[in-house]
């Protein structure tokens, strides 16, 4: 990593910060580079922390809600000839257009938000 930084400086880059993974060996690299390059900010990529937070939420007391929302979305998306058609019709009636029901992917933090937001909003509209 330090060789890359040296090469970048030779090419005229002005390095102000370096973002690394949160793995153990990256912490060691950050500590070493911090001593050698004190004018550069070395930070941990927060996406890993957000991903860990989402994984913890999926496995927490919200696990039942998460599983129900995910199972509902998966079942509707999988039944292309019956429930998906009916769900799409209800969406057109309620919103004037169809919405995509987002599946929940544990490694994608924004999929949880999309899955819950669309599922909850759609269920409220469907029951009316």
The 10s digit of each residue's pLDDT in 32-54 is 999 999 999 988 887 777 777 77
What is the predicted pLDDT for the residue at 124? 46
pLDDT in tens, 50-99: 777 777 776 777 777 777 877 888 888 788 778 888 888 888 888 888 87
How sure is the predictor about 7, in pLDDT bands with cuts at 50, 70 and 90?
A: very high
The stretch 99-126 carries a mean pLDDT of 61
Spell out a b/e string for 111-126, using b for 16 or more CB atoms within 10 Å of the CB, else e: bbebbbebbeebeeee
Query: Percentage of the chain with pLDDT > 70?
Result: 77
pTM: 0.40
State how far the Cα of 32 lies from the Cα of 20, in Å rounded to an integer: 13
Q: Where are the domains of the chain?
A: 2-44, 51-127
What is the predicted pLDDT for the residue at 1? 84
Question: Token pair of 29, please?
Answer: 């690299």
**What are the Cα distances from residue 85, in Å, to 40, 80, 98?**
55, 6, 10
Strand spans (E) along the chain: 17-20, 41-44
- Asked whether residue 110 carries a pLDDT value surpassing 90, the answer given is no
Which residue has better confidence, 24 or 111?
A: 24
């Amino acid at each position: 990593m330090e060789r890359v930084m040296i090469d970048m400086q030779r090419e005229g880059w002005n390095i102000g910060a370096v973002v690394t993974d949160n793995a153990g060996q990256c912490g060691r690299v950050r500590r070493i580079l911090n001593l050698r390059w004190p004018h550069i900010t070395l930070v941990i990529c927060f996406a890993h922390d957000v991903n860990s937070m989402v994984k913890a939420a999926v496995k927490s007391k919200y696990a039942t809600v998460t599983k129900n929302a995910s199972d509902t979305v998966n079942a509707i998306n999988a039944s292309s000839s019956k429930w998906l058609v009916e769900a799409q019709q209800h969406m057109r009636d309620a919103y004037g257009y169809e919405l995509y029901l987002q599946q929940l992917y544990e490694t994608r933090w924004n999929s949880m938000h999309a899955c819950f937001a669309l599922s909850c909003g759609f269920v409220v509209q469907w029951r009316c």
